[in-house]
Chains A and B, each alone.
Chain A
Amino acid sequence: MTAAAPTVDAIRSVNPRWVGAAGIFLGVFAFWIALPPVETTQLVWPAIVAAVAVAAGVWTIRQGEKRIGWGAIVSGVLGFALAVLAAQAARSNLEVAIVWSALIASMLVYATPLTYAALGGVFSERSGVVNIGLEGMMLTGAFFGIWGAATTGNWLLGLLIAMGAGGALALVYAFFAIHLRSDQIVGGTAINFLALGITGYLFIDIYGSNGTPDLSNGNWLKGESIPDVVISRGSNFFSQAFGDLNLMIWLSFAIVILAYFFLFRTAAGLRLRSVGEHPRAADTVGISVFRTRYISVVFGGMLSAMGGAYLSIGFVHSFNQNMTEGRGFIALAAMIFGKWRPIPAFGACCLFGFSSALAQRLGTIPSWSSYAVLFQALPYALTLIAVAGVIGRSIPPAADGQPYVKQ
């Protein structure tokens, strides 16, 4: 909306959007320097940085970029306020909570299941099928992942079985949403109920009250859990953050980039998006709307199931009923927050993963633990703000949720 026509002047001088973005960054930076490891006690420094951020915001607004300018001002004010809070907080508590390397590692762990499911959602919704059932497909993947791995003794087979199960559930959904043209929100809700019931039923039926074979620590059977990729176990920042991450985390980075290239840089991706934007036009030029949607939804289901399988055999190493606990909905939120694009959606997953990681670390400090719970609501609150259009409006693909009737 605010993307003004690029006038000659704007190209010649500095792009105000960049100044605004720098202002937002400076606001965050003002807060950062009040945290460990810098931990400045003199509030002068955050104040100066925040003032520069606000100044950048004011300048940006005067250049006509109102939204990003206000963003910079808000960021500066908030950054300074948080810095004041951080300076007031007990220093020992802060040092326990804010260990950047551990926070980043933990952020990636929490973000990865979301990333897979959010990408699954991007594929499905870009082809024009709303997918509220991400949660159910994730849960299915989580159960069948651990069941497959425990039965076959091989995590790779477990992962494939999980993908097959997630894909099968997505196929059922796709049939109802595409061929039977049932309401997609209703269908997705049904998928969530079904997955909850089926996994719970099978879980009790197969494993009973004993629970799944515990793959953690002592009972670790080699080959049943998705392995970690150990690059280094040093004590420097990068080793702590990235040295010992699960294979699926690295795979998720690759899939994000591949998904971006596929959707926005290939002909097949263009076709997929065209089906989601204007199916009639796509049909006219010879693209099979039904086939494209089926493939996208089933692939989306497989991706979501991978996220679930990572949760059960890569991260928690066990399964319990309803173990996804709304992660599918956070993934949905991340997809919307990322405006139905793979890389921004990944960014949103990282943001939401970070809030989970921070909540977990704050939870270990007795005097703060009760507030840590509130951090869990942050992803949803941010998404609500995003759909309200305060931070850049999220607009779905044009034909998202509309069944296609062939003529």
Chain B
Amino acid sequence: MSDEQPPVEREVEETAAEQELAQEQPRTPTGGDYAPSVAKRLDLYQRAGGIVTPLLTTIIAFLIGGLVVLASGSNPLSTYRAIFDGTGLNWLFPWVTGADRTLAATNLQQTLLLMTPLILTGLAVAFAFRCGMFNIGGQGQYTVGTIMSVWVASAFVGMNGPVHILLALAIGTLSGAMWAGIAGFLKATVGAHEVISTIMLNWIAYWIGSWVFALGGPLQSHANGASVPVSHDIQPNTHLHVFWGDPILQGLHVGFFIALACLVVYWATLNRTTLGFSVRAVGFNPEAARYGGIRVARNYFTALAISGMFAGLAGAIDVLGWEFHIDVNDIQASSIGFTGIAVALLGRNTAVGVFFSSLLFAALVNGTSTRHLDPTIFRPDLAGNLTLIIQGLVVLFVGADVLVLWFWNQRKKIKLRRHALAAQAAVMR
């Protein structure tokens, strides 16, 4: 299998060379170019918008967001500035010093804390995407991961700390994999559409989570009285080590590095293993993959299960890293898994892309939160919804590749016209 890899890469190089050639020598436009085949479109799409599309999408979304801010009577520039300061990214600027720097550090810790699960839920969506599936169930897989890991980490009193941590992470990961695996199994055996089954699994997880920690639920803790719908606290020795900031004030824990490692694992699995090769082959064209001897159904199951592993791990890391206990409201208000969809789409399902887009969304969510946004400049409760609008716009535009294609074609046309004009001018002279 692995010796089939080089030809694919060579092909990519060839097309890139062709592309350069095409740019240098303007061809006469052909009429049938407007609606190319899916593969051709995907190819062009990838090249046309490698980095341009996500950037363009983000800029447009933020511009529209700015208009919304303007419409409600605030200054968009100072609002975005305040949001930026709220994210703590100004810590990166050397000229921020003193008390500002301390505050920026705390803010940045919170942003990176939020980025950690977003990377993982982003990968959960992205991995399934590469196999040609849309995993909307990241939220449910995340929820199941939190439930199982909070259970494991709060039970087994007296277990060795690191072993306990590993066990809780492993159980969280596996439960996420199982939850997604249900959808994968249904897809592989009876062809049930994964979008529908993962949506249903999301809500089943939501209500199971609302039940287990609710009053009279099996995992409810009575430590604070029987009327508080909350889980047991996890054992103190299962807390993940905080390496930056104050552990009591939610400093940044080592789970961040686990998430970063998962980015590498994601890239390596897809691009350097047989499994990744067959997953991508199925994603490009299931029929061709089947013809090539790849077991398509099994790959559907595997890809969704691996997706679920990422999301379940996200849940476990959140529990062990900073949440320490789960209440019913945590489960009902969480939208990490849904934001993961936007992360994966904006990051174009690549490891590097997911890294940057998770940083963007973590910063956006954190910068607009009540705790971090300066209320004198813009109301944080409004800004939280602004984040949702921007998120929606990003997803809307990212999905519209034909729009990008149209812009791309316009650019080409302008170039052609310029060439034609230059030629004309040369003739005239």
Contact = CB atoms under 8 A, between A and B. Distances in A.
B287 to A, nearest CB: 16
Contact of B385 (A190, A197, A373): A197
A183 B68 contact: no
26 contacts: A176-B400, A182-B399, A182-B400, A186-B134, A186-B396, A187-B396, A190-B395, A190-B396, A193-B389, A197-B386, A197-B387, A200-B388, A201-B72, A204-B381, A205-B382, A321-B385, A326-B206, A371-B211, A377-B203, A380-B201, A387-B197, A387-B200, A388-B186, A393-B190, A396-B193, A407-B35
Contact of A132 (B190, B195, B201, B388): B195
Nearest to B393: A194
A189 interface: yes
Contacts of B214: 370, 373
Contact of B217 (A205, A370, A396): A370
Given A193-B392, A336-B196, A329 B203 contact: yes
Pairs of residues from A and B, 3 with the lowest C-beta to C-beta distance, nearest first: A197-B388, A194-B392, A193-B392
A389 B390 CA distance: 39
A193 B192 CA distance: 25
A199 to B, nearest CB: 8
Chain B facing A: main interface SS: helix
Interface in A354-399: 369-371, 373-374, 376-377, 380-381, 383-384, 387-389, 393, 396
Interface string B322-351: 000000000000000010011001000000
Nearest to B380: A204
Interface string B373-414: 000000101101111111111111011111100000000000
Contacts of A383: 196, 200
A405 interface: yes
Contacts of A195: 392
Given A193-B395, A194-B392, A332-B199, A377 B207 contact: yes
A105 to B, nearest CB: 24
A104 interface: no
A226 interface: no
Contacts of B382: 201, 204-205
Nearest to B218: A370
A194 B200 contact: no
Contact of A405 (B35, B342, B395): B35
A185 B195 contact: yes
Nearest to B220: A370
A387 B216 CA distance: 32
Interface in A123-179: 132, 172, 176, 179
Given A193-B391, A380-B200, A185 B136 contact: yes
B211 A198 contact: no
A387 B195 contact: no
A189 B342 CA distance: 9
A381 B392 contact: no
A185 B190 CA distance: 21
Contacts of B35: 405, 407
A267 interface: no
B146 interface: no
Contacts of A384: 182, 186, 197, 200-201, 204
Interface string A323-346: 000100110110010000000000
Given A180-B402, A201-B382, 9 more contacts: A176-B400, A180-B403, A193-B392, A197-B385, A326-B206, A329-B199, A329-B203, A369-B216, A388-B197
A278 interface: no
A370 B391 CA distance: 35
A191 interface: yes
Contacts of B134: 183, 185-186
Contact of A193 (B72, B203, B207, B388): B388
A287 B192 CA distance: 31
Given A193-B392, A204-B379, A405-B35, A389 B207 contact: no
A67 to B, nearest CB: 14
Interface centre among A329, A371, A380, by most B CB within 10 Å?
A380
B210 interface: yes
Nearest to B211: A373
A330 B204 CA distance: 11
Given A204-B382, A332-B199, A384-B200, A197 B389 contact: yes
Given A187-B399, A190-B399, A384-B204, A197 B196 contact: no
A181 interface: yes
Interface string B258-291: 0000000000000000000000000000000000
A122 interface: no
Contacts of B211: 370-371, 373-374
Interface residues of B, number: 54
A370 B216 contact: yes
Contacts of B72: 201, 205
A329 B217 CA distance: 25
B44 interface: no
Contact of B207 (A183, A369, A374, A407): A374
Interface centre among A189, A200, A205, A326, by most B CB within 10 Å?
A189
A180 B379 CA distance: 35
Interface centre among A179, A191, A377, by most B CB within 10 Å?
A377
A185 B129 CA distance: 12
Interface in A223-241: none
Interface in B167-219: 182, 186, 190, 192-193, 195-197, 199-204, 206-208, 210-211, 214-217
A14 B261 CA distance: 66
Interface centre among A195, A201, A332, A389, by most B CB within 10 Å?
A201
A63 B342 CA distance: 52
Nearest to A384: B200
B243 to A, nearest CB: 33
A76 B313 CA distance: 42
Contacts of A193: 338, 342, 388-389, 391-392, 395
Given A181-B402, A370-B211, A383-B200, A198 B389 contact: yes
A201 B136 CA distance: 25
A196 interface: yes
Contacts of B342: 193
Interface centre among B193, B210, B342, B345, by most A CB within 10 Å?
B193
A303 B16 CA distance: 48
A396 B192 CA distance: 11
Interface centre among A176, A182, A396, A405, by most B CB within 10 Å?
A182
A68 to B, nearest CB: 19
A209 B207 CA distance: 28
Contacts of B396: 172, 176, 182, 186-187, 190-191, 194
Contacts of A377: 203-204, 206-208
B53 to A, nearest CB: 12
